[in-house]
Structure 1
Amino acid sequence: MSNPTIAAPQGTAPADGSPAGRAPAGGRPGSARRGSARSGRRRGLERRNRPLWMLLPGGILMLVVIVVPLIVAVVMSTLDLDQYTLQSWLQAPFVGLGNYVEAVASSPLLRSIGISVSFAVIAAVVTLPIGLAAALATQNRFRGRALVRSLFLIPYVLPAFVVGTLWRTMLQPGGVVDSMLGAVGAHPGLWLNGPLSYWSLIIVQLWTSWPFFYLLVVAGLQSVDPEVHEAAAIDGATWWIKLRYVILPYLRGSILLALIIAFLHNINAFTLPFVLFGVPAPQDVDVLPVLTYTTSFQSFRFGLSAAMAICSLVLIAIPLFVYLRAVKLDSGEEAQR
């Protein structure tokens, strides 16, 4: 016959030596376990928030270099600043949106925006196939490939001041370009003044910027799986089918990024047109950065030039926002898949 279980008297410790009132192992969690869970969650939050402190130096630098000058530019654009009021610019007459109205209605701002946008789009679109062709031509190994790739980068690594000076000398009346065209009976006219100056700027920009597309496409070609090339070769795909359905889909991200960066770089181009044509520049090449410079440092309308700079910033932010939005949508679609 089994012995009945005898309960321990109240106030005495159980026979297993565990403290009185504590739930045995495997029972309901007590307050000590809940406290350890809370402390664990607190430590987890601290670990997640700790990397934010590492962003503090970069945030301070961005505040000093970007945010503060932007605020100063916005304030200047609302003041009637010129050579007389610049010394005490905080006491300059407040005009509100007057500078923006004058920039749009009375100044050549809209014409300069049209010139800058068309120049940036043409230069970016035309340099894309040139860079793509150069990258595909040097993709496979051949003798002297390293030398050819190095020569391709010369226009891109040269400073814009050197490029502008070189081409200004070549495009002078009676220069190298006129001599070469005259040898075949062509006499187009002035390259650095008049309607041809716009196309001269585009030609020089094409020469100096196509290696940028070449570099990005070469980097993108490294991401193409060699097995994809082998499968296309086994299937008997022609070079055009292989380019359209195999290579270009892999390069879509690199090409889009290159187009956006090239557009932003071209629309902000100042050194090349400044050195190539001087100031005041011909009307056909009076791009937005040069117009802002001449308004500020030749006409001494600092408030008006600040308003033009803000308009230029808004113009640049539009394609950048579109690109970031497209990247975000692509990332969301890939995450859902």
Structure 2
Amino acid sequence: MSTDASHEVRPAVESAAGRAPRAANDAGQQPGPRDGLRRKGLSERNRPLWMLIPGGVLMIIIIVVPLLLGIYMSILNLDQYTLRKWVSAPIIGAENFVEAVTNSPLLHAVWLSVSYSLLAMVVTLPLGIAAAVATQNAFKGRALIRSVFLIPYVLPSFVVATVWRTMLQPGGIVDEAQATVGIHVGLWLNGPQTFWTLVLVQIWASWPFIYLLALSGLQSVDHEVHEASALDGALWWNKLRYVIFPYLKGPLALAFLIGMLHHINNFTLPFVLFGVPAPSDVEVLPILTYVTSFQSFRFGLSAAMAFISLVLIAIPLFVYLRAVKLDDADTPGAKK
């Protein structure tokens, strides 16, 4: 066969090969694997948006709608006289916010909430880390000790507050124990000792949370790292500082943030422990908001206080989320 004949055969073969898939599709055959993967990818990309609808609707009803109602109440002159027709209550704009900052104990309550939360976290961090390090390695009775460590965490807050209120009341077990050694501290639930009582009870109730997150961080430490540090002859302090603590940085930062936000928002513990009205030394932000709303019946003012507290809580949360985003952007292969 000549060269010209071979050139004439090749286009005919290529055109027949190009018409074959089209003829197969026209005949009703199934699409190829590439088409199926393409359609599957599109459906899987759109599917999570539909799955978020129930949770999104529930979040709007439970979180967004009450938040908007609270913001609307904060600009109303809403008290016991206008509560019956609160929709038509007079709008006073930002007067509730100005009064909350300038003519109420709000700033003192914010200071108390932040200071007691910070003190509690400063003490619970080393306690939780020490407990996690002590129970990391296997030994006889480790499961029992871990279970005992979790008792303060699994108990409800009102149970913890009730037990400690019974122990710290005048003539209680704490006063009896102090009398046996000749120590007299004074009243625990009233007077200048109440702030330190709140800090003490909060430390006892919250340190197992730090313990759990520290223990989870210790589980992520590679066993080969422990072997390498042991072969290098590292002392226990150097091993903790340069080998273990870098693995705990992320879990402990998260634990510190969650613990601070939980302590600042903790209403049950001081409410049950000291009652209402609480002493001025423990009138933290949730207690002040409750007293303003349900004892002074200044609902608009209490809504303004609640909104201010929400903003104060959102600031450290935004800083943490921003820091986490920056850390993710610095990792190799991350989208910036």
C-alpha offsets along residues 122-159 of structure 1, whole Å, 9 cap, x if unaligned?
11111010011111111111111111111111111111
* One-letter identity of the residue aligned with 1:168: R
Cα distance in 1, alignment partners of residues 2 and 285 from structure 2: 101
What's the TM-score once normalised by structure 2's chain length? 0.89
Do the aligned partners of residues 3 and 184 (structure 1) sit closer, same or farther apart at CA in structure 2, a change above 3 Å counting?
Answer: closer
2:254 aligned residue: 257
Equivalent position to 1:177, from 168, 174, 183: 174
Structure with the larger helix share? 2
2:25 aligned residue: none
Cα distance in 2, alignment partners of residues 97 and 224 from structure 1: 52
Cα distance in 2, alignment partners of residues 216 and 243 from structure 1: 16
Shift of 1:174: 2.1
Do the aligned partners of residues 4 and 276 (structure 1) sit closer, same or farther apart at CA in structure 2, a change above 3 Å counting?
Answer: closer
C-alpha offsets along residues 263-301 of structure 1, whole Å, 9 cap, x if unaligned?
011000111100111011001000000000011100111
2:270 aligned residue: 273
Alpha-carbon RMSD? 2.9
Do the aligned partners of residues 25 and 153 (structure 1) sit closer, same or farther apart at CA in structure 2, a change above 3 Å counting?
Answer: same
Cα distance in 2, alignment partners of residues 147 and 272 from structure 1: 27
Do the aligned partners of residues 112 and 24 (structure 1) sit closer, same or farther apart at CA in structure 2, a change above 3 Å counting?
Answer: same
Equivalent position to 1:214, from 211, 214, 223: 211
| Structure 2, gaps ≥5 residues long | 23-31
Identity %: 64
Shift of 1:108: 0.5
The within-5 A match list for 1:179-194 is 179-194=176-191
2:302 aligned residue: 305
Equivalent position to 1:243, from 240, 243, 264: 240
Shift of 1:24: 6.5
Cα distance in 1, alignment partners of residues 246 and 151 from structure 2: 29
Which stretch of structure 1 is more off in the superposition, 74-83 or 168-177?
168-177
Please state whether the residue corresponding to 2:273 is helix, strand or coil: helix
Cα distance in 2, alignment partners of residues 251 and 51 from structure 1: 33
2:158 aligned residue: 161
Cα distance in 2, alignment partners of residues 7 and 107 from structure 1: 96
What's the TM-score once normalised by structure 1's chain length? 0.89
C-alpha offsets along residues 28-77 of structure 1, whole Å, 9 cap, x if unaligned?
xx9xxxxx999997875454223211111111111111111100100000
Cα distance in 2, alignment partners of residues 40 and 275 from structure 1: 59
The within-5 A match list for 1:1-337 is 2=2, 44-335=41-332
Cα distance in 1, alignment partners of residues 93 and 188 from structure 2: 42
C-alpha offsets along residues 219-270 of structure 1, whole Å, 9 cap, x if unaligned?
1111111111111111111110110001110111110010001001100011
Please state whether the residue corresponding to 2:331 is helix, strand or coil: helix
Cα distance in 2, alignment partners of residues 311 and 131 from structure 1: 32
1:33 aligned residue: none
Cα distance in 2, alignment partners of residues 268 and 313 from structure 1: 10
* One-letter identity of the residue aligned with 2:328: S
* One-letter identity of the residue aligned with 1:152: F
2:26 aligned residue: none
Cα distance in 2, alignment partners of residues 219 and 6 from structure 1: 72
* One-letter identity of the residue aligned with 2:197: S
Do the aligned partners of residues 39 and 128 (structure 1) sit closer, same or farther apart at CA in structure 2, a change above 3 Å counting?
Answer: closer
Please state whether the residue corresponding to 1:141 is helix, strand or coil: coil
C-alpha offsets along residues 85-104 of structure 1, whole Å, 9 cap, x if unaligned?
11221100101111101101
C-alpha offsets along residues 104-132 of structure 1, whole Å, 9 cap, x if unaligned?
11110000000000011111111010011
Do the aligned partners of residues 227 and 89 (structure 1) sit closer, same or farther apart at CA in structure 2, a change above 3 Å counting?
Answer: same
Do the aligned partners of residues 160 and 25 (structure 1) sit closer, same or farther apart at CA in structure 2, a change above 3 Å counting?
Answer: same
Cα distance in 1, alignment partners of residues 118 and 307 from structure 2: 21
| Structure 1, gaps ≥5 residues long | 9-13, 31-35
Cα distance in 1, alignment partners of residues 10 and 230 from structure 2: 80
